[in-house]
Structure 1
Amino acid sequence: MKKIWIVTFLFVFIGVLQGENKIVADTTTKNTNSENTEQKNLYIPPPSNSQNASNRLLQCNAIFDARKEELSEKIRQLDEKTQSIQALENATQNLLNQREAKLKERESALSAKLKEIEEKESNFKVTSEKKESNIKALIAKNEDILKQIDGAKNNKLAQTYAKMKDSKAAPIIENLPEDEAASILFALSAQDMGKILSKMDPKKAATLTEVLKKGPPFEKQKPKTTQKPQSENSENSQLPANLDKNPDKNTQNSSI
């Protein structure tokens, strides 16, 4: 602040000196002209250099004293402007510091939230993978147990049918579902399987042979639904309610 005041004072002082030099020069010119006119009438010896310097200094001091109040007012205004600018800079810097602090606080909170979410996602992923692995292991274990149970059951049934005669075992196996029949036949030896298939209906034996070619596990075949012809249904609907579809029974009923 003192430096600004000193620099301002120097600039003003230099300006005053320049202005006063001009005034002194004009005054000197006028005095010279008047002196020249007077010298025509009266000769006056010229002043010495030291006297001229002292006269100029006295004139400058007089002018400076006259403009001292004006200079003081300008300096005061400059001081007020400088203080206002400094206050504005301080307020702006404080505002920037507050905003920067809030921004850092929000960034910190956001980073903590993102870290928390990432940790939850990671834990959830690990837990899900662990549960999925446990479920897969449990399913595989259950499937293995079921296979062992089915294998033991089929082996036991196969041993039972192997002890039976071919002619008795064939019709029983023939009437079983295809998957069960194929499982039992697959557990038998090739010799026993051939004997039982030879005692079956050729069509049924051919069907079971095709199923056995695919190998285990044997899937359960969906039963095929056959629709009766419409003419047969219409004829049956026209029969009396007390008549049976079997003609032998109908004849017996009529004879009675």
Structure 2
Amino acid sequence: MTWMGRRPALVVLALVALGGGPGHGQELPGDFVLLSQIDPSIQQDLRYAGRHNFMGRRIAGYDGNECVVKRAVGAALREVQRELRPRGLSLKMLDCYRPVRASRDMVAWAQDGRETAAERRYNPGFSKAELFRLGYIAERSGHSTGAAVDLTLVDLRAPKGPPFDPSRDYADCTAPAALRAPEGSVDMGTGYDCSDAKAHTAARSISAEQRRWRTILVGAMTRQGFVNYSKEWWHFSMPGVASGAYDFPVPRR
């Protein structure tokens, strides 16, 4: 989910409606670019464009599953990928630019007074109504500036795992990888968007191998100027890039 914490409010700079969203033949606003045009080898699995996420449905503003970022962020991600590829690894993008309307959709969902067992898998220790109070969901997100990304690592030598099945009763996001919803990536100790202390980047309740994967990811990202959010092993931002929040829809790939 990722939040902005106690930062100053951002002004929405682009409340634009581009039909089905900007595609490869359309210009994006505010120095945004399609990551696939900068480095097509970086894998993409934008969770909020489908059902494999904490809300169990497509989230508002995700008209498609194309990773959009600020140009400087995309260039830095390309350098991270160049470092990882000789080691048989690849980045996998889980969320990139996020429209302001998506954050508002998340807030409304957290406050709607309903919660299913499938939704509870992402916050096993407390109800979703607490996500807003505890800061896991907020009306303003750094993702809306194009300067923040959620991502993980894929071992290119490992066999491809099973696909996500929305009808299955998976274990919660803190369970062993074989029991929780499949991530299609290395085992980081929790699933993506897991609201739990085990998802804190420096958590001690994970195995040495899981900690090693987190160290590899954080190290590669840090060397290119990214800063990790300590409560979410998957979330990174690039200081000095944000210039305001945007609300154009995420385009289709």
Return the TM-score normalized by structure 1. 0.20
Considering only CA atoms, is the larger Rg found in Structure 1 or Structure 2? 1
RCO higher in structure (CA 8 A, sep ≥6) = 2
Normalising by structure 2, we get a TM-score of 0.20
Which structure: greater helix fraction?
1
